[in-house]
Amino acid sequence: MSRRVAESQSLRDRGALVPRRLGDSATLRLICALVVLAATSACKREPAAPPPVILISIDTLRADHLPAYGYKDVDTPALDAFRRDAVLFSRAWSHTPLTLPSHSTILTGLLPAHHGVRDNTGFRFTGRTLASILHDRGYATGAAISAFVLRGESGLRAGFDAYDDHVDAAKGEQSLGAVQRRGDETLAVAQSWIGAHAQQPFFYFLHFYEPHAPYTPPEPFRSRYRNPYDGEIAATDALLGRLFDSLKQQGLYDRALIIVLSDHGEGLGEHGEDEHGIFLYRESISVPLLIKLPSNASAGKSIDANAGLADVAPTILSILGVSAPQMDGVARLDRTQILERAAAPVYIETYYPRFHFGWSDLHSLVDGDEHFIRAPKPELYDLTRDPHEQTNVLDARRRRYAALRDTLAPFVIEPSAPSAIDAEEAKKLAALGYLGSTVQTSGPLPDPKDKTETFRALQDAFRFYRDHEDEKALVAFDALLKREPEIVDLWDVRSKVLFRLGKTAEGIASAKEALRRNPSATQLAADLANEMLLAGDLRGAEQHAELALRSDPARAHELLARIALQQNDLVRAEREAALGGDGEPARYTRALVAQKQGRYDDVLRLTTNHALRADALARLGRASEAEQEFRAAIRSDPSQWRGLVVLLATQGRMQEAEQEIRTWASAAPNRTTYEQIAQTLEVLGDKDGARYWRAQR
């Protein structure tokens, strides 16, 4: 075969044989048609599928405690690897150091004054979220949150197909800020949902409450880190590593849009604040923000200009090519690149000191390298020369102070009163004797900086309460109330301490004083109703639960369901629980109904409450599973040790039961614990042991 013939056959085999007579007009038309067809075919590619969107919020995480931002004392391998794939915002700011208002901003692109949520309690979000926008575009939408303050009834459920807020809030003695779900439990919910929706466009919001106080990192992080705050950061990073690994295994990671951020920072003792909410210094408002684009576009780059969390929602929509409604934030990225934006100031506020302590609200503006704080005694800091904000340069920069003061002024929009009462509520309050004075929230108010001594005493009192050192807490609260009787939160939390100490009547009186001093804070009525219910005052509990129907309908209906349960009205109990929605408290109450009816399988189906599940499993004869649930319950509620001790004793494992009693006593060495141990031993018939523990001090 000749070389020419061989080449001709090779071309024919590939479908590319060209006619020899190129001058022929028909042949030329054929060639042109083939060229056009090939070009058209090349252009008709399938449009790229919308990328999955995963928004991860790590509550209370300071930017300057991450290696990605230069910190050296904690290891975060998952976030370090993620940073290499992502765009890092080196100067991202929260608009408020409070969980619910800040997440409302993240999910809407609106400042707190425009979405209306100005505090963690007393306000409810009523608008449209990022989830609503994407749901309308055909995205499946899901969320798993780890803090009670973000429960669906806050209004953030809007637009989500599934909003898993099964956070155990059954213990009425806890403050709402302390009610949380462990990160590994929330992660399991997220992984299950994402796995079920991996083949369709989806938006998922995943919220971890670590490293929020109290800082209790699990092992090995507890032993590895002297600073427990850093230990919780490392533990959360391990959870992120598990999430990213699962996304990679499912082929989702590379094509996904993933955002990792925090809602606010943490004081950690700087400027006299251990936690957050009171002040607006950098440690409480500087947050991490990292965005991984689909296909890892712009990987490893940084944006050094100031950005606010209000920019997150419009940036997500820009990357997805979705038109955004009017928002306060601006898009910082599109699907492939960083967008150039003119420098703009970032506004920040906190009304927490005003609503809770009667002190002045604070407002601030970050503009370039300067941070101006509007307060009764204003402050101005140079963030480049003084990143820890130790030197107020206001007197040396009077012109800049005046300019920043004027720039900030239009941002300050007065909030409506939290849970403003209507006429019907006013009648109910008057009938119960609550129409009295309220916390002063207008006129000249003290600068929080001038309340340093009081604030430190407050922190000590709340720490004693959180650590179950109830007798110390009571002494601290009583001393504070002699100086600051107008602080409603002191009366409120003092009532919970008294209740834990078994001083029921005094506890109820203290809770009533809190509501009397601020009748518009009808969310306090729900706490009071809970205390009355536990004390057996069903009529008082019902009256106060009804007061909370407008400000916190889900919790009010859940309380009314538990009241009906106490009255053995199971029909009404189920009806009220259903009105309470599908959150964990309502499901918990339905599980209580099922428990009372002996439907233990339904108890397991309805609730994630470890104590209820442990009881149901024990009654079903599933002792080993019951033991696991009791041990899980003990992590958040040491009183659940009594169930574990009884379970071990009924199995004849007396030596183990005795060891658990010793561990219980050492974990919470106080009179309340000793009394609970004594009651447990009485149930087991050990009267001598009960007398011994009652004698302990």
Nearest CA-CA partner of 415 in 168, 148, 118: 118
Region 193-211 average pLDDT: 96
Is pTM beyond 0.75? Reply is yes
Sign of CA dihedral 456, 462, 466, 468: positive
Nearest CA-CA partner of 53 in 206, 202, 196, 193: 202
Share the mean pLDDT of the chain. Answer: 87
Please state, in angstroms and as integers, the Cα–Cα distance from residue 375 to each residue in 213, 246, 353, 389, 441, following that order.
27, 47, 12, 15, 14
- Mark 105-130 as b/e (b = at least 16 C-beta within 10 Å): bbbbbbbbbbbbbbbbbbbbbebbbb
Is residue 505 classed exposed, middle or buried when 0-12, 13-18 and 19+ CB atoms within 10 A define those classes?
exposed
For 458-488, the pLDDT digits (tens) are: 889 988 988 889 999 999 999 999 988 988 8
Is residue 534 classed exposed, middle or buried when 0-12, 13-18 and 19+ CB atoms within 10 A define those classes?
middle
Q: Residue 23 pLDDT more than 60?
A: no
The one-letter amino acid at 42: A
Q: Residue 284 pLDDT more than 60?
A: yes
User: How many Cα neighbours within 13 Å face the side chain of 471?
Assistant: 7
CB 473 within 8 A of CB 671: no
Region 658-687 average pLDDT: 89
Q: Residue 520 pLDDT more than 80?
A: no
Region 640-657 average pLDDT: 90
Region 612-632 average pLDDT: 93
Q: Which of 15-24, 499-508, 630-639 has the highest mean pLDDT?
A: 499-508
Is residue 361 classed exposed, middle or buried when 0-12, 13-18 and 19+ CB atoms within 10 A define those classes?
buried
DSSP-assigned letters across all residues of 555-599: HHHHHHHHHHHHTT-HHHHHHHHHHT-SSHHHHHHHHHHHHHTT-
For 42-66, the pLDDT digits (tens) are: 444 455 689 999 999 999 999 999 9
The one-letter amino acid at 254: D
For 141-169, the pLDDT digits (tens) are: 999 999 888 988 889 999 999 999 887 65
Q: How far apart are CA 158 and CA 208, in angstroms?
A: 20
Region 626-639 average pLDDT: 87
Q: How far apart are CA 299 and CA 651, in angstroms?
A: 58
CB 79 within 8 A of CB 228: no
CB 169 within 8 A of CB 176: yes
User: How many Cα neighbours within 13 Å face the side chain of 508?
Assistant: 15
For 307-358, the pLDDT digits (tens) are: 999 999 999 999 999 988 999 999 999 988 899 888 899 999 999 999 888 8
**Amino acid 27: pLDDT:** 42
pLDDT confidence tier of residue 172, bands split at 50, 70 and 90: very low
Q: Residue 389 pLDDT more than 70?
A: yes
For 236-262, the pLDDT digits (tens) are: 999 999 999 999 999 999 999 999 999
